[in-house]
A and B are shown apart, each in its own frame.
Chain A
Amino acid sequence: MSELAVAVILAAAILAASTISVEVGISVALIELALGVVVGNVFDTGIPDWLSFIGTFAGIVLTFLAGAEVDVPQFKCEWKASLLLGSVSFAAPFVVVMAFAYWALGWSGDAAQIAGIALSTTSLAVVYAVLVETGLNQTIIGKRIMSATFVTDFGTAAALAILFIKPNLWIVAFVAVSALLVLGLPRLSPWFFGRYGNRVIEPEIKLVFASLFLLMWLGDKAHSHAVLPAFVLGLALSNHYATHRTEQERLRVVAFAFLTPLFFFKGGMSVSVSALWANLGVLALLFGAKMAPKLVGVYPLARRYCAPHGAFTTLLMSTGLTFGTISSLYGLQAGIIDETQFSLLVAVVVLSAIVPTVIAQRFFQPSAAEEAGREQAVTIGQPLLEREGR
């Protein structure tokens, strides 16, 4: 099939995904992934080079956006509790899934590490949507969960960047340029955005994209991955975006209209339905290997720091989507995992976006009004159980 024919199919499917998303109220990313699976398995398109390239860049843009969306002042208030919750939420499934994939499924060491990373994530956006919808984002528990989610995602980004490094001299340039951008851009941005921003030609978006491409190139040269510096760069600019909403909105428009659909379609198109069908048992086991350590590891801490909503917190911390997909795609592209392993990981990631969310909302969702009243006297940063003398 010619590249233009693939582009036509994708453009139509991307349009269909956005309209379906509006009609059914499910996130466009999930629909794009699903339609990607259909396109990839029904049409003989393969993944053209241009789609692979743009999809990879879109993954880095998504990571940058995830960093830029972190509420840093909120994290500073909640860092102690969040650090514990978030670290365990990352480490427990990482170790268990990695060990399970290596010992029980016989995956290679590197493939097992990719599995551990992909299934250790917590979805910042899935959690955020649930909290905002219920008004819990204004409560201490909501803020604590969001901050903990950020810590988990940071762990994922760090693991992806560090575990697969094969150091050479380029690593020096990669680290130096990353540090320069992270420290320099927030200082440069007020002047640059003030002088060149607010124009339809969007120099501020081009500055961000140029920085991300530079990080990707240097990361590639250093045999590392730009996901960590991209995330931290977003984080460094989060304060700027918090006060310049229009710039953030424009960046989102460019990302959501063109880039991220190609990322999720690329992910979906790489999934093999026949491989999934042949490995349904493994899929269930991998899902269990993600959920069990999340539940066992996070619940005791959630009971301490998010009482009396430990179960709700634990289930939300068990969700995953974007970082799980990014990690799996990295593994596939780098030749660390094969198509079957990729399909299994992405399926588990999608299941983990849906199953714990539905259970949390259906059975454990607290009332925001009651929670706000209960928290009135509670000091931010102090374990709720401690405060209540339990």
Chain B
Amino acid sequence: MPFEKILAAIDGSEASDRAFAKALELASLTGAKLTALAVEGPLPAYAATIGEVDEVRREKDAFFERLLGSTRQQADLAGVELEVELRPGHAAELIVRVAKEKQADLIVLGRRGHFLRDHVLGSTADRVSELADCPVMIVR
């Protein structure tokens, strides 16, 4: 069997949606176990009011609830068993760490994230491909 455990990193962006669709397809073809990892990015740095932090936090919670719900729905439709994870942290490092924890033999992720900050220090996809011990599939 080519792949037994696939980790798909998702963030709700178009590229991530395409990557998750590919991961589903692969998992369905190979019978691999699929984990979808959503990384909760940082809160606004150097905030002036607690309100700003709280509101962003609430928006994030609502966003990820929707994202994980729709991810589960897609997996159900494809008949693939799915485990979902939502964790806070630095995207590239976290994806690599969770891949190790889950002993994933493939990481699937999109080429570009949502925001400018996903690109200014090099893309998450580039860094994951540098740091990961297993093969990485970057979906355009």
CA–CA, A264 and B48, complex, Å:
10
Tell me whether A27 and B52 are in contact (CB under 8 A): yes
**Contact string against B for A residues 18-36, beta-carbon threshold 8 Å, 1 for contact and 0 otherwise:** 0001111111111000000
Chain B residue, CB-CB nearest to A20? B116
Within 8 A of B (CB), among A352-381: 353-354, 357
Task: Please tell me if the beta carbons of B48 and A321 are within 8 angstroms of each other in the complex.
Answer: yes
Instruction: Chain A residues near B116: list those with CB within 8 A.
Output: 23-24
Check B45 against A252 for contact (C-beta < 8 Å): no
Cβ-based interface call for B132 (8 A): no
Contact (A27, B117) CB under 8 Å given A133-B88, A252-B55: no
B53 at the interface (CB under 8 A from A): yes
Give the complex CA separation of A27 and B52 in angstroms.
8
Would A260 and B53 count as touching, CB distance under 8 A? no
Residues in A neighbouring B52, C-beta threshold 8 A: 27-29, 125, 256
B77 interface residue (CB < 8 Å to A): no
- Contact B42 A27, beta carbon cutoff 8 Å: no
A66, B120: Cβ atoms closer than 8 Å: no
Complex contact B49–A69 (CB within 8 A): yes
B49 to chain A, nearest CB (A): 5
A107 interface hit (Cβ, 8 Å)? no
Task: Give the residues in chain A near B46, CB-CB below 8 Å.
Answer: 26-27, 29-30, 123, 126, 129, 321, 353-354, 357
Are B51 and A65 in contact, CB atoms less than 8 angstroms apart? yes
C-beta contact mask, A314-342 vs B, less than 8 Å → 1, else 0? 00000001100100000000000000000
Task: Confirm or deny: A170 has a beta carbon within 8 angstroms of a beta carbon on chain B.
Answer: no
Beta-carbon contact of B51 and A24 below 8 Å: no
| Contact A133:B43 (CB < 8 A) given known A22-B115, A23-B115, A25-B115 | yes
Residue total for B at the interface (Cβ-Cβ under 8 A): 21
List CB contacts (< 8 Å) of B4-44 with chain A: 41-44
Q: Does B72 contact A (CB under 8 A)?
A: no
B57 CB-CB contact with A under 8 Å = yes
**A62 on the B face (CB < 8 A):** yes
Does B115 contact A125, Cβ atoms closer than 8 Å?
Answer: no
Q: How far is the CB of B41 from chain A (nearest CB, A)?
A: 7
Q: Of A29, A123, A133, A322, which contacts B42 at CB under 8 A? A: A133
Asked whether B62 is an interface residue with its Cβ less than 8 Å from the other chain, the reply is no
A128 within 8 A of partner (CB) = yes
A72: CB under 8 A from chain B? no
Whether A126 and B49, one on each chain, are in contact in the complex, defined by CB atoms closer than 8 angstroms, is no
A100 and B36 CA atoms in complex are apart in Å by 56
A322 and B41 CA atoms in complex are apart in Å by 24
Chain A residues contacting B1 (CB-CB under 8 Å) are none
Q: Is the CB of B49 within 8 A of A24?
A: no
CA distance A248 to B50 in the complex (A): 12
What residues of A have a CB within 8 angstroms of the CB of B49 in the complex? Answer: 29, 62, 65-66, 69, 125, 252, 255-256, 260, 322
The answer to whether B41 touches A25 (Cβ under 8 A) is: yes
Give Cα distance in the complex from A137 to B43, angstroms. 14
Quick check: B57 and A249 within 8 Å, CB to CB?
no
Minimum-distance CB pairs A-B, first 4: A29-B48, A23-B116, A69-B50, A27-B47
Given contacts A23-B115, A30-B46, A129-B44, 7 further A-B contacts (CB under 8 A): A24-B117, A27-B52, A128-B50, A129-B43, A132-B57, A133-B43, A256-B49
